């Protein structure tokens, strides 16, 4: 691996200053509680090494670690690759479903089935064409061949229940916990579509809960796939060590959110937000709180444009265990949050200026980040 950068780490102690990030877009919005935004910056020590792990990936979007080493990586244009433990990138794996590679659409997340060791099943979320220029967010399940060259028995286990011509805000991450599959979606962006994030019958702006085979659990709160509602564009989701689901979503101009996801909860979009429209006008009535709507655990203004995320559980950085690592598209980089008793108590920024789409913890505890670019790749963060 070629060394490309040497940075500073941040230790668990907290300093009094906040992370440098510029003025908020909506300075008149006050947080609902202390520590909801602009947490103290965590102090720095040296020791972080950044190297190129893999090259030649076009807009990589999702990464999943394989048992025994190696990774599956999606490229937004519609290719799935095997990246070896040595960083070697395979030819495109055959059998991937047709995708709408337009706007923010394409081949999105990749996840292994909980029983991958015996079933060889993997899941792909993607923008699925449904005719007349329309598309839906969908999730397909297939069996990866042992030589990792093709997918067999590929079939959709979920597709969004309303198509749109808008090629934005598809979501979409796939995670497993408690015997269920959780899928995140976006609200498809347009002024009319965003209102449907509040409609329990439409799969826009939702966290969804299904069985791994795509069946509807009997104990879902609304009698359909919806687990939580009122989201804008959820591109990150992860379970913590206690089995709690967390999700992160893009706000508009300001107002990116970290949310603790609970059954049947409403997270407010587009009724409440800590951001404003890109034009500078208020979102709805310009509210940040409303009865029956959840507050984000944390929010950013200005944005970090969050994508994939993971709770760190590796051995290489023991002081980081339980911390949340978040991919940032703008201003770019890797964001680390320290949580204590369900609240954020510290923040760190690394690799600022690098457009990071997803993050994964390697078996040795090093951290891999996907660089989203025409000629993108994977960076590895480790200790010297």
| H or E, element range at 226 | strand 226-228
Distance CA 72, CA 93 (A): 10
The two three-digit tokens of residue 34, written as one number: 């202390």
Which one from 59, 82, 169, 231 is the annotated catalytic residue? 169
What's the whole-number mean pLDDT along residues 75-103?
Answer: 98
What sign does the dihedral 130-135-139-140 (CA atoms) show? positive
The two three-digit tokens of residue 332, written as one number: 């770019």
Distance CA 90, CA 83 (A): 6
Instruction: Write the CATH number of the domain with boundaries 61-368.
Output: 2.120.10.30
Tens digits of residue pLDDT in 247-266: 999 999 999 999 999 999 99
What's the whole-number mean pLDDT along residues 11-26?
Answer: 72
Does 169 participate in catalysis according to the annotation? yes
Residue spans of the domains in the chain: they are: 61-368
Residue 371 above 60 pLDDT? yes
Q: What is the pLDDT of residue 16?
A: 47
Q: What is the pLDDT of residue 239?
A: 98
Residue 376 above 90 pLDDT? yes
The neighbour count for residue 319, using CB atoms within 10 Å, is: 14
Question: What's the residue count for the chain?
Answer: 384
| Residue appearing with tokens 């991937």 | 96
Residue 5 above 70 pLDDT? no
The pairing of beta strand 324-328 with beta strand 306-311: antiparallel
What does pTM read for this prediction?
A: 0.95
What's the whole-number mean pLDDT along residues 121-147?
Answer: 98
183 beta partners: 174, 208
Q: Cis (ω within 30 of 0) for the bond into 302?
A: yes
Residue 327 above 70 pLDDT? yes
- φ/ψ (deg, to 5) at 89: -100, 130
What's the whole-number mean pLDDT along residues 106-110?
Answer: 98
What is the CA 79 to chain-centroid distance, rounded? Answer: 19
The two three-digit tokens of residue 173, written as one number: 């991450």
Who's near 238: CB < 8 A, 6+ residues apart? 175, 245, 246, 309, 310, 311, 324
Residue 353 gets the label, from left (phi > 0), alpha (psi -120 to 50) or beta, of: left
Q: What is the pLDDT of residue 17?
A: 77
What is the chain's mean pLDDT, rounded?
A: 94
Which of 42-46, 104-108, 163-167 has the least mean pLDDT? 42-46
The two three-digit tokens of residue 227, written as one number: 């687990």
| H or E, element range at 192 | helix 191-194
């Amino acid at each position: 691996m070629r060394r490309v950068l040497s940075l500073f780490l941040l230790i668990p102690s907290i300093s009094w200053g906040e992370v440098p990030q510029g003025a908020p877009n909506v300075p008149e919005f006050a947080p609902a509680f202390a520590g909801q935004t602009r947490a103290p910056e965590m102090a720095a020590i040296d020791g972080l090494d950044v190297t190129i792990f893999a090259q030649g990936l076009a807009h990589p979007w999702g990464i999943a670690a394989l048992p025994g080493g190696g990774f599956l990586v999606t490229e937004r244009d519609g290719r799935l690759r095997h990246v070896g433990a040595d960083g070697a990138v395979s030819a495109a794996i055959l059998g991937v479903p047709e995708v709408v590679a337009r706007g923010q659409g394409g081949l999105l997340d990749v996840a292994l089935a909980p029983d991958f060791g015996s079933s060889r099943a993997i899941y792909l979320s993607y923008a699925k064409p449904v005719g007349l220029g329309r598309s839906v967010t969908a999730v397909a399940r297939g069996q990866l061949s042992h030589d990792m060259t093709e997918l067999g028995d590929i079939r959709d286990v979920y597709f969004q229940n309303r198509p749109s011509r808008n090629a934005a805000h598809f979501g979409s991450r796939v995670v497993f916990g408690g015997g269920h599959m959780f899928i995140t979606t976006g609200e498809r962006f347009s002024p009319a579509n965003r209102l449907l994030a509040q409609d329990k019958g439409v799969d826009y702006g939702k966290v969804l809960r299904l069985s791994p085979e795509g069946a509807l659990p009997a104990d879902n709160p609304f009698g359909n796939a919806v687990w939580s509602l009122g989201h804008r564009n959820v591109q990150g989701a992860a379970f913590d060590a206690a089995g709690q689901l967390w999700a992160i979503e893009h706000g508009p101009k300001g107002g990116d959110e970290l949310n603790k996801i609970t059954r049947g909860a409403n997270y407010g979009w587009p009724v409440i937000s800590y951001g404003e429209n890109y034009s500078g006008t208020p979102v709805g009535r310009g509210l940040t709180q409303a009865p029956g709507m959840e507050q984000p655990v944390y929010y950013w203004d200005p944005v970090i444009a969050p994508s994939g995320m993971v709770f760190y559980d590796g051995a290489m950085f023991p002081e980081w265990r339980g911390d949340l690592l978040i991919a940032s598209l703008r201003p770019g980089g890797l964001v680390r949050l320290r949580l204590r008793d369900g609240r954020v108590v510290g923040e760190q920024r690394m690799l600022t200026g690098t457009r990071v789409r997803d993050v994964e913890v390697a078996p040795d505890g090093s951290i891999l980040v996907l660089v989203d670019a025409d000629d993108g790749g994977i960076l590895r963060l480790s200790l010297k």
